[in-house]
Amino acid sequence: MGTARQALAIHGGCGVLPHDSMTLAEWDGARSDLGRALAAGWAVLSGGGSAVAAVEAAVNVMEDSPHFNAGHGAALNADGVHELDASIMDGATLEAGAISAARHIRNPVSAARALMNDGRAVFLTGPDADRFAEAAGFAPVAQEYFTTQKRVEALAAMKAHALAGTEASENEKHGTVGAVALDLAGHLAAATSTGGYTNKPPGRVGDSPVIGAGTYARDGVCAVSGTGKGEYFIRHVVGHEIAARMAYLGECLEEASERVVMEDLGATRQHGEIIGAGLVAIDAEGRVSAPYNTAGMFRGWVTPDGRAYVATHDELHEVTL
């Protein structure tokens, strides 16, 4: 299989995203870091690197940014602890690596890739994921590394909502980062990383590290990375569902991804509210789809001619790689 068409798309989470929920500097910072993530992934692809390496590089940038709920800036659980989830999948071989409930891995997606390359397991969780990462050469970091004032305030707000019996906004609760890529060899890959939702029960694992739900890649079909209420992504097996609709029903990427986000998940309600969901996906020809059913989604992509765009709401911002 070969193609001259490489492609890359990323997301930094979906949600209500009211304009007054962040300062202008924070919005600019988030868009800047989306651009840096695209630049990192595109540098790998344009240099002839693999889709797997490209999605890891893009996600690493977002894990290091305080603007997204992954790595530095990850959400806090009900005990005020960061528990991190991530996964990566190689569409060429269907090999994958995933970790969950890790507490001391600076870049969880890189540990997930190391696990995939190790080959003895697909999924490690909790302290054993931390131990594996350290043995693989990743220096552990203290919990304080992940903490930002924004996440401390979000936890306090979520606890207040719980006491008052009110519902928090999606962007107070959730957040995820992810990337999908097609390389010059025609191979697809996907990666996703998250701190989960704010005030989550200790030990809770969402869809981001679940292969087939929040992350999925299969050469010749598509690569998918999701964001939203993870429990529902698991129930609908979202990544695999999109691939299955394409492979078995003959739907195109846009039709399959839009149907899953807008109809399957869009028709699902919790406490009377539609389940917030979004994703980025790429097909075997490099076409990109980025549907979301919330008011906004941090996202970006690079066109085949190397032009890059990022967005938070409807307006696209062209960025220089």
CATH number at residue 262: 3.60.20.30
The single residue of 147, 176, 194, 312 carrying the catalytic annotation is 176
Average pLDDT taken over every residue of the chain = 93
The verdict on residue 1 lying in a domain is: no
Does the pLDDT at position 48 exceed 80? yes
For the segment 24-30, the average pLDDT, to the nearest whole number, is 88
The verdict on residue 90 lying in a domain is: yes
| pTM, full prediction | 0.95
- Is 166 catalytic? The answer is no
The verdict on residue 2 lying in a domain is: no
The verdict on residue 76 lying in a domain is: yes
**Enclosing domain of residue 274:** 7-319
- Total structural domains in the chain? 1
Give residue 1's pLDDT band: very low, low, confident or very high (50, 70, 90).
very low
- For 218-266, the three-class secondary structure string (H helix, E strand, C coil) is ECCCEEEEEEECHHHHHHHCHHHHHHHHHHHHCCCHHHHHHHHHHHHHC
Distance (Å, rounded) from C-alpha 37 to C-alpha 41? 6
For the segment 49-67, the average pLDDT, to the nearest whole number, is 98
Longest dimension (CA), the chain: 57
Q: Would you say the C-alpha torsion 162, 163, 165, 169 has a positive or negative sign?
A: negative
Distance (Å, rounded) from C-alpha 191 to C-alpha 215? 6
The verdict on residue 232 lying in a domain is: yes
Per-residue pLDDT tens over the stretch 165-180: 776 655 556 689 999 9
pLDDT over 90 percentage in the chain: 82
